[in-house]
Structure 1
Amino acid sequence: MIHLKIKRRFFYDNGDSTSPPGTNGNPHLSRVLKPIHLWALAVGLVISGDYFGWSYGFGVGGPWGLAIALIPVTLFYVTFILCYSELATAIPHAGGPSAYARRAMGPFMGYLTGMSCLIEFIFAPPAVALAIGSYIHFVVPAIPAMPTSVASFILFIFINYLGMKTSATFELIITIIASAGLVVFAFAAAPHFSMARLTTGPLLPFGWTGVMAAVPFAVWFYLAIEGGAMAAEECVNPQKDIPKGFLGGMGTLLVMAFVVLFLTAGIADYNLVTSVDFPLPIALAQIFGDGSFIVILISGAGLFGLVASLHGIVIGASRQTYAMARSGYLPKFLAYVDPKHHSPVMALLLSGVIGIAVTLTGLTAMAITISCFGSIMLYFLSLISLFVLRAKEPSLKRPFRVWYPVVPIVSVLLAVFCLISVVITAVQALEYTLIIYAIAIVYYFIWGNKKIRPFDEEFGILDELDA
């Protein structure tokens, strides 16, 4: 009877264990996702990073500076995703990293990790939305960029409101289209690739400082892949499906990152794409002409990539907000789930409103960098959680186990490199990020620690998975 109450209260958003499932008071998330959906979510969350954002790295480090920065960043993400898969399968919770940190290090660290995730997932969508507006304006100049960016945000909030099954199907379709677009780009660009473009002039025009400055834009190739863990409670079999989705997605993104970077720099003057949100069409236009079919086609595919990421990150932001509200960190009303669509509607609305406000600033590069700061803090705290849980709970069921401690140690060292690179080259963004963290910490000690749900109640879902 006790376990039954724990299971019920875990799923229901108002903390009332007496109401039956499906009532207006106690709707819950539904299990509908399979490995292919997790692959689509992992890739879709990130694939916009192949279509825009990364080329700002050419402006601070040059092609080789960005390529060198991409090597340790890629190694970091490979090792991190291996570690993260262990955490996500052992603790399949909608809160993702906030749940791992809470179980390992207590309520405050769980809150801090959750806020790091929110910083990442709330500042990344505005950058993507701005790029959507820019892409559409590039293809149809009569359509203004900023209103389009805001309208796209509103549209994907609504699609998410329709429920995870609808959202996951939509994400799968657009991710496949966006991935196909990158394949077309590769086949169109490869015959025109010239190594001379990459070897003419200084290889590192801004020296090793430029390499460090390019790290945030190398991170953009993979940023937000971890968001798939926040769909754990909506997986049919999270303990088996999460590693398949994560590792398959990581492999796909790794290949895409290096192909896109080198082909773009090898077919056009990289200075043309250092400050635009549509580098692939601009690069192809130098070969085929501005109005050519292939340029328009890749612009359309790029739009699908941006849509996939915006839609996927909106999913992640809303689930993290919902999970933190359900845990008691955030106001209770944010844990409300629509009884018909089983979507966290209030969490969607709040994260969406904040994202739209950031979008209206028009600061793409700043939003990317702030999001990077949140992500790196999230990575650190998640890796520390792995070490603590290995020591604290050696008998915890771990369906997927990383090579311990070698892989986690390598991942931590590479995370330090990423953090140092971002800190020393993005002082203004760091100032804004620290202000956000300061406000979040003040909130926690005044209000956020008053109604935190009991630990056993919060993690009752694990009893079902172990049964």
Structure 2
Amino acid sequence: MKSESKSQHVGKVTHHELKQTLGTWQLWGIAVGLVISGEYFGWSYGWASAGTLGFVITAVFIAAMYTTFIFSFTELTTSIPQAGGPFAYARHAFGPTGGYLAGAATLVEFVFAPPAIALAIGAYLHVQFPGLEPKHAAMGAYLVFMALNIVGVQIAAAFELCVTLLAIFELLVFMGVVSPGFQWSNFTKGGWSGADTFSMGSFHGMFAAIPFAIWFFLAIEGVAMAAEEAMNPKRSIPIAYVAGILTLVLLAIGVMVFAGAAGDWTKLSNINDPLPQAMKFIVGEHSGWMHMLVWLGLFGLVASFHGIILGYSRQIFALARAGYLPEWLSKVHPRFKTPHRAIIAGGVVGIAAIYSDELIQFGGQTLTANIVTMSVFGAIVMYIISMLSLFKLRRSDPNMERPFRAPLFPFFPAFALVAAVICLGTMVYFNFLVAIVFAIFLALGYVYFLLTRHQREAAPADVLLEE
């Protein structure tokens, strides 16, 4: 009888397992691909409040936060290589409630980022096909890439690597094409919140621009959610993370400076397609370069969109497997071994967000800006909980195997933690309505969490915790 029970238990666990197929290059492709759409759009909204020079300072501060965060976060990822990522780390450190907060915040980040990217895909296609409604194109993108993610992680990761390489190539081409018109005076004119000289008001703009600087790097931590599908996570994930953040920092600086120096940057500060519009300054509207950028520029958006679908699906899968969401969401496709129900569930929420102008377009910001801000709120809360988890686990579980240890501990994680707290405070101040909506999401989720304790008690044991 005991043997039968054990056999049934093992069968239940394997029913919730993912397939280990990802190598180092594929993980690097996911790390960069998750984020690279941030080089194509979103960041330029920061110019509207901070100006170009003010936004440079904001972006450097955020780049420092992400660099120290990734070096610290990698310790958690390699020590606890689970699909839940931050949810798993916080649950180890602070128990079920900590796991809920981290999981819910990560879910908001990864479920709300794809609609913003899908809308940008629609905007890029609209440039090429003026009769195409951007929202319909965005929904079409969801359907195509949800299907691709369901077919299999190996195929999805190979596709992700290819489009990421093409996206990087395209950003380099963009910089090369606009470089003949490069004028530093274009970049610096009105660079301090619309003024030519620094003033106290510039600080206001720099703090208000924080969400859009974060968008440069948002979601790189999503590699953690592919950890269960990595063939050698303790070696490959640190390489993917470190190489990924260095790649993204260099690209962010290049894209921002070359776009701003190409012409009147104020015309790029509140749109979803700043790179094609910046290229218009140099080559004109009907140039072949212009059409090439629109088509190849889609690769960057597609890379992030596709990668984040992978990320949100694994987060939903992990939360459902642990009993934090309905158990049926943790089912793996019998043939493709992918969390197909989780992929579809996140897609339904994202498509609803795309068509929810009246609900999401408030506070004087565009639909895209509010979606970006909501996603960033989730990310920042998750970063704070993750760094607190790192400090807690160093004390409570000093003997845990740590294949990668955060360098310059405790200074790197402390800087990342303090910077994230500063970001959260300023974001609440400048985006109070979005903050309230975010808090409502967390509160409603917490009520569900309290009412479903039986789900977590009945959830299958986590194999990685038992080994």
TM-score by length of 2: 0.93
In structure 2, what is the equivalent of residue 11 of structure 1? none
Number of residue-to-residue matches in the alignment: 450
In structure 1, what is the equivalent of residue 38 of structure 2? 49
In structure 2, what is the equivalent of residue 148 of structure 1? 137
Structure 1 residue 17 and structure 2 residue 20: aligned?
no
| Per-residue CA distance 1:48-91 (angstroms, 9 max, x = gap) | 00001111111111111211110110000000001110000000
Q: Look up the equivalent residue of 2:355 and give its one-letter code.
A: L
In structure 1, what is the equivalent of residue 447 of structure 2? 442
In structure 1, what is the equivalent of residue 226 of structure 2? 231
Give the C-alpha shift of residue 421 in structure 1.
Answer: 2.2
In structure 1, what is the equivalent of residue 21 of structure 2? 32
In structure 2, what is the equivalent of residue 256 of structure 1? 251
Which of 263, 268, 277 aligns to 1:268? It is: 263
In structure 1, what is the equivalent of residue 361 of structure 2? none
Counterpart CA distance in 2 for 1:54 and 1:199 is: 17
Counterpart CA distance in 2 for 1:356 and 1:90 is: 35
In structure 2, what is the equivalent of residue 93 of structure 1? 82
Q: Look up the equivalent residue of 2:294 and give its one-letter code.
A: S
Counterpart CA distance in 1 for 2:49 and 2:235 is: 41
Counterpart CA distance in 1 for 2:155 and 2:93 is: 34
In structure 1, what is the equivalent of residue 382 of structure 2? 378
Q: What's the % identity of the aligned pairs?
A: 40
Counterpart CA distance in 2 for 1:399 and 1:350 is: 34
Counterpart CA distance in 2 for 1:297 and 1:178 is: 12
In structure 2, what is the equivalent of residue 399 of structure 1? 403
Q: Look up the equivalent residue of 1:137 and give its one-letter code.
A: H
> Bigger shift: 383-392 or 259-268?
259-268
Which of 415, 422, 432 aligns to 2:427? It is: 422
| Per-residue CA distance 1:3-40 (angstroms, 9 max, x = gap) | xx99x9xxxxxx8424696xxxx263111101101111
Is the 8 Å Cα contact of residues 40 and 274 (structure 2) preserved in structure 1? yes
| Per-residue CA distance 1:158-198 (angstroms, 9 max, x = gap) | 00000101110111111111110001011112232111113
Counterpart CA distance in 2 for 1:415 and 1:319 is: 24
Q: Look up the equivalent residue of 2:285 and give its one-letter code.
A: D
Is the 8 Å Cα contact of residues 27 and 342 (structure 1) preserved in structure 2? no
Which of 183, 194, 202 aligns to 1:207? It is: 202
Counterpart CA distance in 2 for 1:202 and 1:300 is: 31
**1:184-223 equivalence runs, <5 A:** 184-201=173-190, 203-205=192-194, 207-223=202-218
Q: Look up the equivalent residue of 1:348 and give its one-letter code.
A: I
| Per-residue CA distance 1:424-443 (angstroms, 9 max, x = gap) | 11112111111111111111
Give the C-alpha shift of residue 143 in structure 1.
Answer: 1.9
Gaps of 5+ in 2: 195-200, 358-366
Q: Look up the equivalent residue of 1:253 and give its one-letter code.
A: L
Structure 1 residue 133 and structure 2 residue 122: aligned?
yes
Counterpart CA distance in 2 for 1:225 and 1:164 is: 18
Which of 394, 409, 414 aligns to 1:409? It is: 414
Q: CA RMSD in A?
A: 2.0
In structure 2, what is the equivalent of residue 246 of structure 1? 241
Structure 1 residue 83 and structure 2 residue 72: aligned?
yes
Counterpart CA distance in 2 for 1:456 and 1:166 is: 28
In structure 2, what is the equivalent of residue 388 of structure 1? 392
> Bigger shift: 138-147 or 383-392?
138-147
> Bigger shift: 297-306 or 282-291?
297-306
Structure 1 residue 173 and structure 2 residue 162: aligned?
yes
In structure 1, what is the equivalent of residue 360 of structure 2? none
Structure 1 residue 336 and structure 2 residue 336: aligned?
no
Is the 8 Å Cα contact of residues 231 and 319 (structure 1) preserved in structure 2? yes
Q: Look up the equivalent residue of 1:361 and give its one-letter code.
A: S
Counterpart CA distance in 1 for 2:310 and 2:460 is: 26
Gaps of 5+ in 1: 9-14
Counterpart CA distance in 1 for 2:268 and 2:12 is: 56
- Return closer, same or farther for 1:18/1:373 CA change in 2, 3 Å cut-off: closer
Is the 8 Å Cα contact of residues 234 and 403 (structure 2) preserved in structure 1? yes
Q: Look up the equivalent residue of 2:270 and give its one-letter code.
A: S
- Return closer, same or farther for 1:19/1:94 CA change in 2, 3 Å cut-off: closer
Is the 8 Å Cα contact of residues 27 and 338 (structure 1) preserved in structure 2? no
TM-score by length of 1: 0.93
After superposing on structure 2, the runs of 4+ consecutive aligned residues of structure 1 that deviate more than 6 Å are none
Q: For 1:95, what is the secondary structure of its paired residue?
A: coil
Q: For 1:365, what is the secondary structure of its paired residue?
A: helix
Is the 8 Å Cα contact of residues 124 and 313 (structure 1) preserved in structure 2? yes
Q: For 1:41, what is the secondary structure of its paired residue?
A: helix
Is the 8 Å Cα contact of residues 53 and 191 (structure 2) preserved in structure 1? no
- Return closer, same or farther for 1:91/1:287 CA change in 2, 3 Å cut-off: same
| Per-residue CA distance 1:329-380 (angstroms, 9 max, x = gap) | 1111001000100010111111110011011125111000000100000000
Q: For 1:452, what is the secondary structure of its paired residue?
A: helix
Counterpart CA distance in 1 for 2:311 and 2:241 is: 15
Give the C-alpha shift of residue 204 in structure 1.
Answer: 3.5
- Return closer, same or farther for 1:454/1:76 CA change in 2, 3 Å cut-off: farther
Q: Look up the equivalent residue of 1:17 and give its one-letter code.
A: V
Is the 8 Å Cα contact of residues 96 and 320 (structure 1) preserved in structure 2? yes
Q: For 2:400, what is the secondary structure of its paired residue?
A: coil
Is the 8 Å Cα contact of residues 27 and 339 (structure 1) preserved in structure 2? no
Structure 1 residue 281 and structure 2 residue 284: aligned?
no
Q: Look up the equivalent residue of 1:43 and give its one-letter code.
A: V
Is the 8 Å Cα contact of residues 323 and 458 (structure 2) preserved in structure 1? no
Q: Look up the equivalent residue of 2:48 and give its one-letter code.
A: G
